[in-house]
Amino acid sequence: MSERFNYEPERETYSAARVKALESLLIEKGIISSDTLDKVLDFFETDFGPFNGAKLVAKAWVDPEFKTRLLADTPGAIAELDFPRGMTGAEGEYMELVENTPTVHNLIVCTLCSCYPWSMLGLPPYWYKDPTFRARAVREPRKVLQEFGLELDESVEIRVWDSSAQIRWFVLPERPAGTENLSESELATLITPEAMMGVAKVEAPAS
Q: Does 135 bind Fe ion (CB under 5 A)?
A: no
185 has catalytic annotation: no
Q: Does 113 bind Fe ion (CB under 5 A)?
A: yes
Query: Minimum CB separation from Fe ion for residue 203, in Å?
Result: 29
What sign has the CA pseudo-torsion 8, 147, 171, 109? Answer: positive
Query: Minimum CB separation from Fe ion for residue 138, in Å?
Result: 14
Q: Does 110 bind Fe ion (CB under 5 A)?
A: yes
CB-based contacts of 98, cutoff 8 Å, min separation 6: 71, 106, 159, 161, 169, 170, 171, 172
Q: 24, 33, 34, 113: which is the annotated catalytic residue? A: 113
Quickly list H helices, the chain: 11-28, 34-46, 50-62, 64-72, 74-80, 118-121, 131-139, 141-147, 184-188, 193-197
Contacts with Fe ion: how many residues (CB under 5 A)? 5
Q: How many C-beta atoms lie closer than 10 Å to residue 190's C-beta?
A: 20
Q: Does 137 bind Fe ion (CB under 5 A)?
A: no
163 has catalytic annotation: no
Contact 141, 160 (CB under 8 A): yes
Only segment of 10-18, 27-35, 104-112, 167-175 that touches Fe ion (CB under 5 A): 104-112
Among 115, 120, 190, 195, binds Fe ion (CB under 5 A): 115
113 has catalytic annotation: yes
- Interface residue list for Fe ion (CB under 5 A): 110, 112-115
- Hey, which residues are catalytic here? 110, 113-115
